[in-house]
Structure 1
Amino acid sequence: MEQSDFTIEGTNNLADNSSFSSAYKITSGRAISASDEGTNNVVIESTLASQNSLSVGSTFVLKDSNSKTYQMKVVGIYTTTTGSTENSISYMNTIYTALSVANAMKATTGVISSATYSLENPATADTFVTKANKLVNNSNFEVSKNDQAYQNVKSSLNNVAGFAKNIVLLVAIAGAIILALIVMLMVRERRFEIGVLMSLGETKAKIVAQFFTELIMIMIVSVGIASAAGNVVGNVVGQQLLKQETTQTTNTANNFAGGQNNTNGAPSNERGNGGGFMGRAGNAIGFGQTRSETKALEKLNIKTSANEIALLLGIAILITLVAVGLASIGILRLNPKQVLTN
């Protein structure tokens, strides 16, 4: 069998193809979408385009294994984002088209070799698989889920979330202790004021409330500053927490890949082009998951909402109450004479 020059990958939504978006990006034009079904629109690689003087809007002719010709129109140009030269000829000669074109070249109109569906909500995967299998009327096909990439991301986020909760707890406890010590020092310096107020008939509850009000005013300003700086600081800290998790997950994936049969760069001996969501040879590392998809989440985009600010305000009020309560113990057990004498 003669080796083919190009690999045709059919898709109805290239932008949502995780295998494509994780390693490549559109640099000119647009991606293949459902509106391209029935057309000969294609997305090609930038090196292939430059070497053949092609740009968005250009046309060229492809010939399949049956010597049938197709006039293709370039609607988008993509390039790699990984910086890797692994299997470079393979990805440079990969052309993305609508499913109708790939199936026509494979002479299986209306039938695909394989399909990948991307779900927005991983929780619906089991329901989708159950319903999809009921619709399959071919014993050669079976729908299954592969959520390894999602589980990698989920694992990293769970680890970061657990560590973040411990940090919040430690900061809350330390904050209450430090603030209580500061208030105690403040109370010690204001003993004369406290004694005078108590001798004039002010209740201990009102004096404690005064301290609480003073701290609340400072707390409101502090919460405002924290809310404004939360996104910036949160993203910096979150990125540092993710760095170790990402490195560990990526190393695990690479070690697993190294244990598989090494087929990177192996040429395809089939002349003609497959339809459906066909994968590039040598990129699979097990369970249908590409190397890029096994990476954990590498970037967080932290945004503080009204609920988080309300929670922060509640924690700050609680810390203030505890601090004032501990510092006020010395006031509540003394009478005005004892305060002034001391």
Structure 2
Amino acid sequence: MFVLLQVMVDRFAWVIFAVGVIFVHCEEIEECLNNDTFAALQTHSGLHSEPAPEPAGLGPGGNPEPAMPYMSNLEIDDEVLACTDPKWKPNKGGIWTFEQIAEAFMEFGFKKFYEPGSKADAISACVASLTIAAGECQETHHSMGIGCDAKATHDSGVFQLDFLRAPFTPLGDKVNPQIKKDGNMMNLCISGFGAGFVTGAPYTSSSKTGVAYLEKTPIYTCMGAPADVNAYSCPDPLAKPGVIYPNFIGTFCHKGYLQNDEQGKQPCSLTQTTPRCCGIFMGGANDYQLAPFPEYYFMKAQEHLSKMQGKNFKTICEKVIDYMDQP
């Protein structure tokens, strides 16, 4: 994941580019392959003439209606930070399963940030979260078809939300101590919350010209982003001329738009020509990933789905949502 985060500290302006895919932490490097390395090794994937199919259950993409009222700043609550319930811990193999990831996103992201009954249906949003996790989280041979390797995924979490631990910010000051408590891993609750904020951040007013700060920190989000990647001036390196690429996988976007700025709520410019402009979830924005957005994430999802037996992202989400709806 790649998020532009702009912060003022005293008289200095800090611009932090968070690129989650570069973090790899394993005891044996041959056993640990991050998502980009693993994709690069799948040389046959580069020969596909047709895009990878969308995972079953993935509905129309776009912004949900935010559940939270208009506000200028949002704080992470203690329950999310602590994430004490044992069900959020990695399994005995050190893996966060897709079932756990789905439930964490639905509990701390979807339920907190999405207006019930809005454009984003629960199944589609859940399947989208697993599709993004398949392309963002660090993986090992043992985690394929099961979920994300918790130790390899490390302090950026299953969605690679590096902005949540940005230094010199109130947000990083709050999240980093908890990451340290959890053995230098971003827990599933924080990851689910962060994904909910990025995809369904509350607006600052009815004009919908800006989004709330998160812990007094301004962040680009998906809110207000155009429907197509082609709306942005900087194309992905593997994008084919004349092809229209959706900017959304469910509620998760490739390139963002709205940012709350103290100097006037300035949005990310659609006319930027710098590489990886307005980046949010950036799989496909690198020439070594073998496919542009959203095809890169569908390709990674299919690698996991091909290892599953008797289930897929849709059936996982249906079971999780049914369980959560029980009284």
TM-score (norm. length: structure 1): 0.22
TM-score norm. by structure 2 comes to: 0.22
Q: Which one has the bigger helix percentage? A: 1
Higher-Rg structure is 1
